[in-house]
Structure 1
Amino acid sequence: MKLVLLCSVAFLAATSPILAADLVQPVAAMPFSWTGFYVGAQAGGGWNDSHWSGTTFIPFNTNGSGGVFGGQIGYNYQINQFVIGIEGNLAGSTVKGDNQCSDVTGTVCETKQDYLASVRGRLGYAVDRFLVYGDGGVAFTNYKFAEVDSFQQSFGGGSRVGWTAGLGVEYAFTDHWTAGVEWNYYDFGTKSGESDVNTGFFVDNRDTENVVVGKINYKF
């Protein structure tokens, strides 16, 4: 009897690790979801193409560049591997360009941008924590157009409304923090402005811009 009992105890001791391993199954990690609100910051650069034209001078450009820095807020909703969303952003801008005014030697004309904003829809494709997307929507800015040499004058700058479209990539390095890079093209069309010095003298300005920013977001 004692021998049978000892054998039973030995058998249970030998098999208990195997039984425990069978009972404890590994828990599969939950796939990352892009669904949710987020808020973040951005910084990068902008390259402006400002084309000046008019009836009294030869057309010319005041192409320029500068920094773009601000923030964004948005919402994503994931359906399988597709991610749809909406985002609004507002950024200060130091984009500025200058050039000789038409063919008038010794004169300098300048295009300067104060801010850049947009509201864009987004459509992306997610592979777990990696997201690639395209976007498009309405854009807002404020430009100043001026001759800045000794005979200073401005040419009816101000708020502009246009459109934007672009591409981006984003990676979630934790469940709440994501980072990425985004490129957008902006088109603000043509606006005619009258000189504040020479009454009846109008300048047409057509403005487009390319912007590349790095972004970091906190997802709630």
Structure 2
Amino acid sequence: MKRFVLAAAAVAMSMGAANAADMARRSAMPTKAPVYVAPIYNWSGFYAGINGGGGWGNASVSGPLSTGGDFDTKGGLVGGTLGFNYQMGQFVYGLEGDIDWTNLKGSATCAVGVTCEAKNNWLGTARGRIGYAFDRFLPYVTGGLAVGDVKTSATGLGSATSTKAGWTLGGGVEAAIAGPWTAKVEYLYVDLESANAPSGSSTDFKSNIVRGGINYRF
């Protein structure tokens, strides 16, 4: 009898321990997976892309073929871009160069029976950029060298073409859109200064450029 009681007590104790362990397992809170935090976008590195847009501005011919003031110019442009960014904290420092085919032109009367046309056929810039990154969104200011041709034609008097170095200043916004691809919209003011024109005259050519672009970061 005594052995039976001891055996029953042992069985009861083992069952109680098993139930307690089972209750402990059931009462344990499930472990949640850690929340995924996307890494902050890094703008550093080389990139290349394409750009396109339009421009408007004014030109004036002075000298023997004076137009008597500014006249309007406008047209489109398209080209390619190369650049490099270096990010320090949220500040992004960069160098960017581009070369565009352009069709910016306008005309005005410059003498009795004579019409003068001023035209820009190509435009290149080499600029510095400084931006402040909001993760995948980068507003920036930019400025530097602008180089392009200015062709001035006068009815019956031929034409003159000069390659001029001037300056440019502007700003824009760029955003990361997918993987290594980014998209931008920017404005540039370009002054190609004074160029040669027929009959010893000269032409001042200034433009406002608005263009968009797609870049691929390496």
Instruction: Give the TM-score of the pair, scaled to structure 2.
Output: 0.87
CA displacement, residues 120-164 of structure 1 (integer Å, 9 cap, x when unaligned):
00011111111111111111111210024xx2511x212111111
Give the structure 1 partner of residue 31 of structure 2: 20
Please state if 1:65 is matched with 2:65. no
Q: What is the aligned counterpart of 1:203 among 201, 204, 210? A: 201
Please state whether the residue corresponding to 1:169 is helix, strand or coil: strand
CA displacement, residues 60-118 of structure 1 (integer Å, 9 cap, x when unaligned):
4342100011110101111111110000001110111112224x1x4321111111111
Residues 62/73 of structure 1: CA separation in 2 closer, same or farther (3 Å cut): same
Give, in angstroms, the shift of residue 204 of structure 1: 1.2
**Within 5 A, what are the aligned runs for 1:6-85?**
6-15=19-28, 18-21=29-32, 24-55=33-64, 57=66, 59-85=68-94
CA displacement, residues 30-52 of structure 1 (integer Å, 9 cap, x when unaligned):
11111111111111101131110
**Within 5 A, what are the aligned runs for 1:1-220?**
1-15=14-28, 18-21=29-32, 24-55=33-64, 57=66, 59-102=68-111, 104=112, 106-148=113-155, 151-154=156-159, 156-193=160-197, 195=198, 201-220=199-218
Q: Is the 8 A contact 1:62 1:109 kept in 2?
A: no
Give the counterpart letter for 1:40 in structure 2.
Answer: G
Pairwise CA RMSD: 1.8
Q: How far, CA to CA, are the matches of 1:157 and 1:44 in structure 2?
A: 24
CA displacement, residues 4-53 of structure 1 (integer Å, 9 cap, x when unaligned):
213312431442xx2522xx322422111111111111111011311101
Q: How far, CA to CA, are the matches of 1:134 and 1:88 in structure 2?
A: 14
Q: Is the 8 A contact 1:62 1:111 kept in 2?
A: no
Structure 2 segments unaligned to the other structure (5+ residues): 1-13
Structure 1 segments unaligned to the other structure (5+ residues): 196-200
Larger Rg: 2
Q: Is the 8 A contact 2:49 2:82 kept in 1?
A: yes
Give runs of ≥4 in structure 1 deviating > 6 Å.
none
Residues 58/38 of structure 1: CA separation in 2 closer, same or farther (3 Å cut): closer
Residues 192/129 of structure 1: CA separation in 2 closer, same or farther (3 Å cut): same
Please state whether the residue corresponding to 1:50 is helix, strand or coil: strand
Q: Is the 8 A contact 1:120 1:136 kept in 2?
A: yes
Residues 124/58 of structure 1: CA separation in 2 closer, same or farther (3 Å cut): closer
Q: Is the 8 A contact 2:60 2:67 kept in 1?
A: no
More divergent stretch after superposition (177-186 vs 47-56): 47-56
